[in-house]
């Protein structure tokens, strides 16, 4: 159920605009129908599908997707270790994101230290995604996915401290002691993203 504090995507878009992507990329936030269309359009390419699922259903940045290594993912637990060296985070991801990642990994011969998603290093995740969207005739950019994930979680009433912990955002001026980040907070966000874009 959506939080009563947001009666439109306008408030969420304003917050996400300040915390999600550079201003030059500000566009309307994807709807659930558009997000589902992205996942459907990428389903035939396991690499692009897993990348898109991680950005839309786990809110990862394209660079975070590119930097993932094999030890960063715990399949049975649907946990992903990501973030920067200074601000690492381990989050539970949506079931559909885990399924997309598992399907990709099942098709690969992997070694313990290899990148999790071979072929998406550097800016190639942006290029691969852009090509897939052009082929599908969808006007969706790579940064639209993370912004949609953040707006969806925010609209659901997710506390700012949970938003910051899950998405790796640290710009909020909210007092951190008011809503502690408790064990399991990430499962709630993963469930919200799953329901919005994959169910």
Q: Strand 73-74 to strand 79-83: parallel, antiparallel, or no bridges (unpaired)?
A: antiparallel
Per-residue model confidence (pLDDT) at position 77: 87
Per-residue model confidence (pLDDT) at position 160: 87
Per-residue model confidence (pLDDT) at position 81: 95
Per-residue model confidence (pLDDT) at position 15: 53
pLDDT classification of 20: cutoffs 50, 70, 90? low
pLDDT classification of 173: cutoffs 50, 70, 90? low
Q: pTM here?
A: 0.83
Per-residue model confidence (pLDDT) at position 7: 43
Per-residue model confidence (pLDDT) at position 18: 55
C-alpha–C-alpha distance, residues 193 and 199, integer Å: 9
Order the strands of the 73-74 sheet from edge to edge: 73-74, 79-83, 88-92
Percent of the chain with pLDDT over 70: 80
Model pLDDT for residues 99-152, shown as the tens digit of each residue: 999 999 988 876 667 889 988 876 689 999 999 999 999 999 999 999 999 999
- Dihedral in degrees, nearest 10, Cα atoms 129, 100, 25, 195: 140
Model pLDDT for residues 25-41, shown as the tens digit of each residue: 478 999 999 999 999 99
Residue 38 burial class via C-beta count within 10 angstroms: exposed 0-12, middle 13-18, buried 19 and up: buried
Which 8-state DSSP code applies to residue 25? G
């Amino acid at each position: 159920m959506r939080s009563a504090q947001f009666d439109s995507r306008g408030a969420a878009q304003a917050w996400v605009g300040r915390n999600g992507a550079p201003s030059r990329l500000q566009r309307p936030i994807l709807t659930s129908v558009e997000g589902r269309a992205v996942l459907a359009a990428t389903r035939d390419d396991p690499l692009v599908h897993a990348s898109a699922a991680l950005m839309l259903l786990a809110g990862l940045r394209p660079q975070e997707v590119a930097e993932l290594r094999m030890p960063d993912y715990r399949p049975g637990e649907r946990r992903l270790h990501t973030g920067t060296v200074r601000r690492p985070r381990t989050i539970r991801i949506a079931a559909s994101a885990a399924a997309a990642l598992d399907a990709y990994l099942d098709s690969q011969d992997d070694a313990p230290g290899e990148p999790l998603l071979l072929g998406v290093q550097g800016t190639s995740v942006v290029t691969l995604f852009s090509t897939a969207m052009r082929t599908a005739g969808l006007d969706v950019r790579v940064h639209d996915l993370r912004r949609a994930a953040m707006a969806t979680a925010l609209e659901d009433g997710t506390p700012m401290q949970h938003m910051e912990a899950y998405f790796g955002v640290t710009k909020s001026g909210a007092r951190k002691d008011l809503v502690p980040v408790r064990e399991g907070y990430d499962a709630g966000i993963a469930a919200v993203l799953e329901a919005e874009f994959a169910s």
